[in-house]
Chains A and B, each alone.
Chain A
Amino acid sequence: MEAMDGVSAEVARIFAAKERRRRDLARLPFQEKVRAVIQLQEMAATILRARGKMVRPWNVSAIHSASLRTGSSEKKARDSETPTTKRPAMIK
């Protein structure tokens, strides 16, 4: 960890704990990280929209309608990809 001059021992411990947490997050399976990204999007969206930014969290539970298709490869409607129960928050 990089040196932190002028930081109290308690703050240094907090920073070290945060760094450990970040490394733990880095070791999550990719699918878990994608879920975390979507959580971040949802958390950030309200704030960003209040600042006038047009953002949209990923809608990975979107059900694709076959009626939208015009080509030969028609897609049939599918069930939602993500579970309906809310996962515990992974981002502190």
Chain B
Amino acid sequence: MKRALEVLNDLEKQGVFSRYAIGGAMASTFYTEPVLTFDLDVFVLLQPVNGGGLISFSPIYEALRRRGYEEETETVSIEGIPVQFPPAYNSLTDEAAAEAREIDYDGVPTRVARAEHLIAICLQTGRTKDRARVAMLREQATLDLNLLADILKRHQLEEKWKRWTE
């Protein structure tokens, strides 16, 4: 995974995206017991196309293609790791990428989304597996409950949190 992270760091340095952070199941695994997943989800902060509101992931795929990393269905295999750039692009995933925590992975600097943002994203996505992930994060991660409450309030997720945790 170290090499995949080096590639992502290089893309960030080249300005293909302004910032990235590990999300999804691997981010959750940072805080909990390891869970089975076959993809590495990566949140990215992108600049709108031509200064407008439209966001395009094409520059990322083009940059990766130039480096010899081809798309395979919904992922790009980077140094043996299927990386997915989740298309559900909204203010919450933006915030998750912007406020991700800096970590060191085997000497390579990288970022992982905060557990509180992961919970909020799970609430927003709402699948059965997201519910299981929220339960696991509640049990095993050290949560900043004030931060979580603030995130839930600003993204209108308080009611769903109550339903999921009753």
A33 at the interface (CB under 8 A from B): yes
Q: Which residues of A contact B81 (CB under 8 A)?
A: 58, 60
Q: Find A40's partner among B31, B36, B79 (CB 8 Å cutoff).
A: B36
Q: Which residues of A contact B36 (CB under 8 A)?
A: 37, 40-41, 44
Residues from 14 to 67 in A contacting B, C-beta threshold 8 Å = 22-23, 25-26, 28, 30-31, 33-34, 36-37, 40-41, 44, 55-62, 64
* A33-B103 Cα distance, complex, nearest whole Å: 14
Q: Which residues of A contact B30 (CB under 8 A)?
A: 30, 33
Nearest B residue (CB) for A22 = B33
- Tally of contacts, chain A with chain B, CB under 8 A: 79
Residues from 1 to 55 in B contacting A, C-beta threshold 8 Å = 1-3, 10, 26, 29-38
B86 at the interface (CB under 8 A from A): no
* A81-B79 Cα distance, complex, nearest whole Å: 10
Q: Which residues of A contact B35 (CB under 8 A)?
A: 37, 40
Contact residues on A (Cβ < 8 Å of other chain), bracket: 20 to 34
How many B residues touch A, CB cutoff 8 Å? 27
Q: DSSP class of A's interface residues: helix, strand, loop or mixed?
A: loop
The verdict on A37 contacting B68 (CB below 8 Å), with A58-B81, A60-B79, A81-B3 known, is no
Q: Show 26 A/B contacts (Cβ-Cβ < 8 Å), sorted by A.
A: A22-B140, A23-B33, A23-B140, A25-B33, A25-B34, A26-B140, A26-B141, A30-B105, A33-B30, A34-B34, A36-B34, A37-B29, A40-B35, A44-B36, A56-B82, A58-B38, A62-B79, A68-B68, A69-B67, A71-B66, A71-B68, A73-B66, A75-B67, A75-B68, A81-B3, A90-B34
Residue positions of A touching B, CB distance < 8 A:
22-23, 25-26, 28, 30-31, 33-34, 36-37, 40-41, 44, 55-62, 64, 68-71, 73, 75, 78, 81, 90-91
